[in-house]
Amino acid sequence: MIIPAPELQAFLHNHQANPHGWLGMHPAKVKKKSGVVVRAFRHGAVKCSVVELDAPGAPAHPMELLAPEGFFEVFIPGKKLFRHQLRYETSWGDIHQVYNAYSFLPSLSEQDLYLFNEGNEHRIYEKLGAHPRMMGDVPGTAFAVWAPAASRVSLMGNFNAWDARYHPMRPLGGSGVWELFVPDVGEGEIYKFAVWDKHGHMRLKTDPYGTRFEAPPNNAAIVCSTRHYQWGDADWLDKRAAAAGNPDRPMSVYEVHLGSWKRNLAEAGRAFTYRELAPLLATYVSEMGFTHIEVMPVAEFPFPGSWGYQVTGYFAPTHRWGTPEDFQFFVDHLHQRGIGIIVDWVPAHFPRDAFALAEFDGTHLYEHADPRLGAHQDWGTLIFNYGRHEVRCFLIASALSWFDRYHIDGVRVDAVASMLYLDYSRKEGEWIPNRYGGRENLEAISFLRQVNDLVHHYYPGALTIAEESTAFPMVSHPTRDGGLGFDYKWNMGMMHDTLMYFQKDAIHRKWSHDKLTFGMVYQYSERFISVYSHDEVVHLKGSMLTKMGAGSHGDKAATLRSLYGFIWLYPGKKLLFMGGEFGQGREWNYDASLEWDLLQYPEHEGLRLLVRDLNKLYLGDPVLSTTDYRPESFRWVNASDGDQSVLSFLRLDPAGKSTYLVMGNFTPMTRTRYNVGVPSGGYWREVLNTNAIFYNGAGFGNHGGKQASTAPADGYEHSLSLTLPGLSVLVFKWTAEG
């Protein structure tokens, strides 16, 4: 035996932290004879020999079995390093010939590691994790994981019977990265990392950079390449790039939870797969006139009740609805049908699950050690350490990977407010001020600016959207101007105000008239998206329909129609959570289909038809869809008639060729001969009436339009005398051609 007994025992008892120093082939001198020594550790092998690949026909070199666990060694005198394979026989008589995993150079370069430690390897997802590849002419998989405080790391999987002794990984200098290329391990193999901390305690961890995962409770990563799929969306991507830098593009978004939008009732209500959903969802969204869908998080997550917001696989589409290639098909199909896709992305926090990121190498690697910085009080989750270069690199790479691998069109960044403030949802004494004594999380702010700039740099035309609920300034302004760099920001204030208004009984709305008008005070401070998301229809808040302040079902439907009419004509891009478009009756349930059977009833089908027609109206005229962020395109006509709960405003064509008048009457009382001022004489055509019979309304209106009179009103020289049906929004259009 040439290997020192303590080193052999280190292998046999999982104490060896430098496997490449002993396993594989090494120059050696034994009894003054020069040659090479070859060592191998093969699970289940009882015999093993070394085969010279460049000397066909040469006899194999039998190896000595030093331990029954399968540790072999041989000294071959007079030889220099040569290409070889191992031929081994198992106890059940099988014979295999394989490459030695410990005869390959590292799969990562010093430059890769330097950029990663510096935080500037933007595509580190191509280096860390598991990647099928060729090393020379040898196929296999390169594995790499960041665990700087680990005393040793081993690769485990079916290919080594989940025995951590057989594939210990090599540390790559001071980078904190451990690496191993394993020949003949290919796609479909499941694996985890055994990570020992400095005290010798082992943690079995799944791959932070994994591209595919098996289902809980095992949660192992699966070797998977995302480069096989043949995309057909080149035209879409070209058009997207051509629109780069244009925030005025039309956008009406349908927010979707893929597991509960619609289910296969013929098969016990199982969830549809990505491939099954693609044509169903594309057809529906196209018919409804939405430009994009936004999917709640599809990155891998273990607990369905988190709806995907507690992520454990930041680079992998969840297994629940198919494979990564299936998700690629889903996106590709949407693009070829003219529909964009935005994905919810969650860099604000991660769960404490022992198999994932938490205390990954026995230290607080991805999270802050101090719970005043590293623990979310509300959600029981952990907060990323945005000041650590490798953590920023991980998160930036996650965002970029979804654009690269899956061609998504945008990310909606979840819980941005919780990232921006160190005292978010904390009492005095529960948080640590920044270096200037303030409450802003400077590292998180810097990270958000960096990731936004990099998304826009690498993927022109791609969008970043902030769910941000505070008055933090310049969220949707470019970083060069001191902003955070997002393209858009969710208008949480407008959402809360309008819901508060429409939840009141109509008789009390006059006391809250300002809830409809106050939003214009800050409307043009950001590029807002008007949103009614999933958050508004969970946790006993009721559905959009049931929360409307009205007694009868019909009045609730009419009230919701008027809310949609108001918000679709109000400046800002649009977002509506699934089910809201047809008046879902119950709160959203992530584990069941929407109530599609309600469409047989006129109130619900009428709502759906209205949302469809609002989208068509919005998209059909640039006056409505490309002037959302131009203050000169909006003007109140009468914003002070709270006593009658009537509101009126204009949407103006910058070229002066057309004007829209929007009238809202938010009580059940029909108002006749209501005078409203208009800026132009001539005919004002009624282009939409939420009270139309077609939408299950009463059908009261203005017979298709009105001729303006010369009677002055509201500061204008012309006016219209209108019938305003109860609980309705009416839209009139004037054109220069008459």
* Residue 124 and residue 96 share a domain: no
Containing 396, the helix (H) or strand (E) segment is helix 389-406
DSSP collapsed to 3 states, 5-66? HHHHHHHHCCCCCCHHHCCEEEEEEECCEEEEEEEEECCCEEEEEEEECCCCCCCCEECEEE
Interval 417-428: pLDDT, tens = 999 999 999 999
Q: Is residue 202 part of a domain?
A: yes
Q: Is residue 490 part of a domain?
A: no
* Residue 147 and residue 96 share a domain: no
Interval 27-73: pLDDT, tens = 999 989 999 999 999 988 999 999 999 988 889 999 999 999 999 99
Instruction: Please give the backbone phi and psi of residue 390, each rounded to the nearest 5 degrees, phi first.
Output: -70, -30
Q: What is the DSSP string of 316-348?
A: EE-GGG--HHHHHHHHHHHHHTT-EEEEEE--S
Q: Is it the case that residue 377 has pLDDT exceeding 90?
A: no
Q: Is it the case that residue 378 has pLDDT exceeding 90?
A: no
Q: Is residue 63 part of a domain?
A: yes
Q: Is residue 641 part of a domain?
A: no
Q: Is it the case that residue 738 has pLDDT exceeding 80?
A: no
Range from 250-259, 331-340, 357-366, 367-376 carrying the lowest mean pLDDT? 367-376
* Residue 198 and residue 168 share a domain: yes
* Residue 209 and residue 155 share a domain: yes
State the pLDDT confidence band at 412, using cuts at 50, 70 and 90.
Answer: very high
* pLDDT given for residue 213 in this prediction: 98
CATH number at residue 211: 2.60.40.10
* pLDDT given for residue 99 in this prediction: 95
- Distance, CA of 432 to CA of 599 (rounded, Å): 53
* Residue 64 and residue 44 share a domain: yes
Domain stops at, among 84, 103, 122: 103
* pLDDT given for residue 56 in this prediction: 86
Mean model confidence pLDDT for the chain: 96
* pLDDT given for residue 17 in this prediction: 87
- Active site positions, annotated: 414, 467
Q: Is residue 90 part of a domain?
A: yes
Q: Is residue 206 part of a domain?
A: yes
* Residue 128 and residue 92 share a domain: no
Closest C-alpha among 728, 585, 529 to residue 647:
728
**Reported pTM:** 0.96
* pLDDT given for residue 728 in this prediction: 98
* Residue 118 and residue 94 share a domain: no
* Residue 116 and residue 198 share a domain: yes
- Distance, CA of 625 to CA of 585 (rounded, Å): 30
The share of the chain scoring above pLDDT 70, in percent, equals 100
* Residue 99 and residue 139 share a domain: no
Range of the domain at 36: 5-103
Task: Decide if 407 contacts 332 (C-beta within 8 A).
Answer: yes
Question: What Rg, from alpha-carbon coordinates, does the chain have?
Answer: 32
Alpha helices per DSSP H over 479-543: 492-503, 514-517
Interval 585-628: pLDDT, tens = 999 999 999 999 999 999 999 999 999 999 999 999 999 999 99
* Residue 98 and residue 147 share a domain: no
Give, rounded to a whole angstrom, the gap between the first and last alpha carbons of the chain. Answer: 100
Q: Can you tell me whether residue 606 is helix, strand or coil?
A: helix
Q: Is it the case that residue 665 has pLDDT exceeding 80?
A: yes
Interval 183-215: pLDDT, tens = 999 999 999 999 999 999 999 999 999 999 999
Domain stops at, among 189, 205, 222: 222
* Residue 114 and residue 53 share a domain: no
State the pLDDT confidence band at 434, using cuts at 50, 70 and 90.
Answer: very high
In the chain, how many domains are there?
2
Q: Is it the case that residue 174 has pLDDT exceeding 90?
A: yes
Distant-in-sequence, close-in-space partners of 36: CB < 8 Å, separation ≥ 6: 25, 26, 27, 28, 75, 76, 79, 80, 81, 82
Domain stops at, among 103, 135, 163: 103
Range from 37-46, 253-262, 726-735 carrying the lowest mean pLDDT? 37-46
DSSP collapsed to 3 states, 270-318? EECCHHHHHHHHHHHHHHHCCCEEEECCCEECCCHHHCCCCCCEEEEEC
Interval 521-558: pLDDT, tens = 999 999 999 999 999 999 999 999 999 999 899 999 99
Q: Is residue 670 part of a domain?
A: no
* pLDDT given for residue 600 in this prediction: 98
Burial (0-12, 13-18, 19+ Cβ within 10 Å), 563: buried
Q: Is it the case that residue 403 has pLDDT exceeding 90?
A: yes
Q: Is residue 378 part of a domain?
A: no
Q: Is it the case that residue 717 has pLDDT exceeding 90?
A: yes
* Residue 60 and residue 133 share a domain: no
Paired tokens of 153: 């790391």
Please tell me what DSSP assigns to residue 375: B
* pLDDT given for residue 277 in this prediction: 98
Q: Can you tell me whether residue 363 is helix, strand or coil?
A: coil
The share of the chain scoring above pLDDT 90, in percent, equals 96
State the pLDDT confidence band at 737, using cuts at 50, 70 and 90.
Answer: confident
- Distance, CA of 169 to CA of 504 (rounded, Å): 64
Half-sphere exposure of 333 (CA within 13 A, CB side): 18
* pLDDT given for residue 43 in this prediction: 87
Averaged over 313-340, what is the pLDDT?
98
